Each structure stands twice: as structure tokens, then as C-alpha cells.
């Protein structure tokens, strides 16, 4: 049996995970310098299962503007290349049959704007995720009240608490986005 406290704790946990996910995604948006975190989280369709790139390949940065991916299974190279292109991170992988090289272009003003758009899109996806958690929690709280497990006052205070969580996490998401935009646009 679920209680109001369970719903509140679960909602806070899910919203926290959305924020952590955004931090991870934004860490992948590097400004100018090659970094394994730009690609290590990309999901690759590996034998029918979505697998993180870092689990099926070695990722290194031998030069400041180059990422080299060495697949543990060479037959996975086409899938890795396809996943990198599908990730829409603004780089083009070059495969020689053994390795995939990803040259990181010098950031032009246009590229900086593209990266900012990517960051905004990722932030908006997490805002939507937080709002979805709020919607589900609100429904669960209303169902508790309908089934007479909590009073109307408890329902109202629960709904207020969920809204506070939502507002707090949206502010944190906006702050992360603002910091990343500043980082990207800095020349």
C-alpha cells in the first residue's frame, strides 16, 4: 500500500535522476576540446541491445582535437558509426575498418549556436520528464484521496509539495543550462 510519503519520496528521487541525467548529457557537450565524455554515453545497437559505447569500445583522445574509438568487436564498427551520427552531436566519424576517428572541429560562432541548441533541447527534455513525474504523482495523490486513505487537506498539502519539488528541479535545470550556455559561448 502506497502512502503520501512514499509518493513524495519517489517523486523527489525521479526528479533528482532527471537532473543527474541532464548533468551527464551536458558534460558530453564539450567546447572545442576532444573528450571521451562527448561520446561514451551514446547508445549503440549491439546485437539487438542498446549498449553504451564505453562498454563495447575503448575511447581515447590522443590529440586535443581528436577522439579515437577502438571497438572490442570490429564487427560493431558500422553500428557505432551509425549511433554517433544518430546522436546528432555535430561530429562526423571516420572509419578505416579498425578504428573510428572523430575530428573535433574548431568551434565557429555557428557551431557554438548549434551546441547551445542541443543543450537547450536536452534541458527541455528533462523539464518534460520532471513535469511527467509531477503529473503521475498528482494522479497518485488524488487516487489516495478518492480511496479515502488520506484527507482532502493531506491531498492539498501533497499536491503543493509536489509543485515545490517541480519548481525547484526546473530552477536547477535552468541553472545548469545557463552555466553550460555561458561555457559554450565563451571564446
Question: Can you list the domains of the chain with their CATH numbers?
Answer: 4-26+108-185 (1.10.132.20), 33-103 (3.30.1360.40)
Residue 27 above 90 pLDDT? no
Cα separation of 187 and 185, whole Å?
6
Q: At which residue does the C-alpha cell 533541447 appear?
A: 121
Phi, psi of 159 (to 5 degrees): -65, -40
Average pLDDT of the chain, as a whole number: 88
Instruction: Please report how many Cα atoms fall inside a 13 Å half-sphere around the Cα of residue 159, on the Cβ side.
Output: 15
Residue 48 above 60 pLDDT? yes
pLDDT at position 168: 96
pLDDT at position 105: 76
pLDDT at position 30: 62
Q: At a CB cut-off of 8 Å and minimum separation 6, what does 120 contact?
A: 177, 181
| pLDDT tier at 157, thresholds 50, 70, 90 | very high
CA–CA–CA angle 100, 67, 81 (5° rounding): 35
Q: How far apart are the first and last CA of the chain?
A: 55
Q: At which residue does the C-alpha cell 486513505 appear?
A: 149
Phi, psi of 21 (to 5 degrees): -60, -45
Q: Other CB atoms closer than 10 Å to residue 36's CB: what's the count?
A: 18
| pLDDT tier at 32, thresholds 50, 70, 90 | low
- The string of pLDDT tens digits covering residues 104-132 is 877 788 878 888 998 999 999 999 999 99
Supply the pTM of this predicted model.
0.68
β-partners of residue 57 are: 71
- The string of pLDDT tens digits covering residues 58-101 is 999 888 888 999 989 888 889 999 998 888 777 889 988 889 99
In 3-state terms, what secondary structure has residue 147? coil
| pLDDT tier at 31, thresholds 50, 70, 90 | low
Cα separation of 141 and 150, whole Å?
8
Q: What is the CA radius of gyration of the chain?
A: 21
Amino acid at each position: 500500500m502506497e502512502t503520501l510519503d512514499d509518493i513524495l519520496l519517489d517523486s523527489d528521487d525521479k526528479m533528482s535522476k532527471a537532473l543527474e541525467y541532464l548533468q551527464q548529457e551536458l558534460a558530453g557537450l564539450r567546447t572545442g576540446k576532444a573528450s571521451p565524455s562527448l561520446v561514451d554515453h551514446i547508445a549503440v545497437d549491439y546485437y539487438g541491445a542498446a549498449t553504451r559505447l564505453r562498454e563495447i569500445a575503448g575511447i581515447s583522445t590522443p590529440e586535443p582535437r581528436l577522439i579515437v574509438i577502438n571497438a572490442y568487436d570490429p564487427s560493431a564498427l558500422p553500428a557505432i558509426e551509425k549511433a554517433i551520427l544518430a546522436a546528432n552531436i555535430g561530429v562526423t566519424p571516420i572509419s578505416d575498418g579498425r578504428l573510428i576517428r572523430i575530428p573535433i572541429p574548431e568551434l565557429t560562432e555557428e557551431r557554438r549556436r548549434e551546441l547551445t541548441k542541443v543543450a537547450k533541447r536536452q534541458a527541455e527534455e528533462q523539464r518534460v520528464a520532471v513535469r511527467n513525474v509531477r503529473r503521475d504523482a498528482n494522479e497518485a495523490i488524488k487516487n489516495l484521496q478518492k480511496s479515502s486513505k488520506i484527507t482532502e487537506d493531506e491531498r492539498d498539502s501533497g499536491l503543493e509539495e509536489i509543485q515545490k519539488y517541480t519548481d525547484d528541479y526546473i530552477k536547477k535545470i535552468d541553472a545548469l543550462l545557463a552555466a553550460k550556455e555561458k561555457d559554450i559561448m565563451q571564446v
